[in-house]
Structure 1
Amino acid sequence: MLPEDVVSAILSLTSPLDVCAFSLVSSTFRSAAEFDVIWERFLPSDYQQLLSRLDLPLKFSTKKELFFHLCNSALIDGGRKSFRIEKSSGRKSYLLSARELSITWGSDPMHWSWKKMAESRFPEAVELITISWLEIHGKITTQMLSKNSKYGAYLVMNISRRAYGLDTIPSEVSVKVRDRVSNGMAYICRQDIKKLKMDSYCMQREQFPNEREDGWKVLVSLRIMEFCVSYV
């Protein structure tokens, strides 16, 4: 049987899921799978900085415990962002709060209502009252993301049954990474989605929202674009 330090060195070259699976093989693998050297490799290289940005400090005694803590979404930067790592790979993902976005007339109470919503993970959310021109911008630095990873940009929202006008025409969506810009079209509202998808031309050219059942509410997650992060 190989020594535990050799086993741990081998396990550190695999993935978090592989380590958990190998820990069931024998007591040696199970013991080696607890080594900090393994789980520190799976943690983001900037995890110390991320810990300093958490709104609520984490209590942990091992790197494995820290890894699984960070697999659950946690608020950072004064509740303006949510962060977590992917359990299978350790890749980072972020969710920006409404306060972190640039929204057309977002500070005008005639158009938007800022409030605390029980279904939102953030301290504050915003509700659209009425508007004739809707434009939303979000920004994040690629250095915050995991390198050599494929990412998707999504708009997550809760659409009221009384909402109107969002399904009249598709919206323009785009993602800019450095000097590259990807443009597309997307329907924001879920109304008549099945009917629209019957049109093969629409299916090829436009994006549609995905509905996620979460208790009584329906959250719509709209994929805007996919992009790859590659930096030194």
Structure 2
Amino acid sequence: MNITAVLPEECLSQIISLTSPRDAANCKVSVVSPLFKSATDSDAVWERLLPSDYHEIVSDSVSSSELLVSLSKKDLYFHLCHNPILIKKGTMSFALDKESGKKCYMFGVTGLYITWRGIKVKIETKILSPKTTYGVYVVYKFPEFGDGLQRGPIQLSFCFEGREQEKHTVFVTNMGGPISRQ
């Protein structure tokens, strides 16, 4: 019995939307069945694979109206995977991880609170994806001359409201070279 003769497109879309973005994008059956192709490309599938707050995130972008109005949900998903958008008045960028659909944020220097004794970043956890491990990377360039950040041990502290502060010491060995962590 032909499955496409039994299940309506809405059911197929529902089933596909319960998979991962990678599985939905690589659905092999969509090549041989126009009904599967239509279900795989449907806004219903990709609406569920986009983050639940994507409207709010994209609306905060300079190009929000163009993205939300002109692109299908599938095209919006892949646009956000390949073209990070500036949000929070240009202090952050947002993108999606192509394989998982998880949120990826990058802070620009204007989004940081920098003091002589340290750099502080405050982020609201509601913008993060649940059940996700995040990595924090500090990228900087040593000045060729000057009294700025010196090579050597640097202490990084991470704290989350309601939890004890975690401290890590990293040693910067040379510009562009490896950093060791204790």
1:85 counterpart = 2:96: yes
Correspondence for 2:21: 16
Partner Cα distance (2:176, 2:97) in 1: 33
- DSSP-derived class of the 1:50 partner: helix
* Superposition TM-score, scaled by structure 2 size: 0.80
More strand by share: 1
Letter in 1 for 2:156: V
- DSSP-derived class of the 1:39 partner: helix
2:112 corresponds to which of 101, 104, 109: 101
- DSSP-derived class of the 1:154 partner: coil
Letter in 2 for 1:12: S
Q: Is the 8 A contact 1:159 1:189 kept in 2?
A: no
Query: Structure 1 66/191 Cα, relative in aligned 2: closer, same or farther at 3 Å?
Result: closer
Give how far 1:190 is off: 2.9
1:139 corresponds to which of 106, 116, 122: 122
More helix by share: 2
Unmatched 5+ stretches in structure 1: 106-133, 198-202, 207-232
Give how far 1:193 is off: 4.9
Correspondence for 1:127: none
Correspondence for 1:51: 58
Unmatched 5+ stretches in structure 2: none
1:154 corresponds to which of 123, 131, 137: 137
Give how far 1:20 is off: 1.4
Moved more, 153-162 or 7-16: 153-162
Partner Cα distance (1:21, 1:44) in 2: 20
Task: Kindly report the root-mean-square deviation, in angstroms, between the aligned alpha carbons of the 2 structures.
Answer: 2.5
Percentage of matched positions with identical amino acids: 36
Q: Is the 8 A contact 1:9 1:38 kept in 2?
A: yes
1:182 counterpart = 2:170: no
Correspondence for 2:38: 31
* Superposition TM-score, scaled by structure 1 size: 0.64
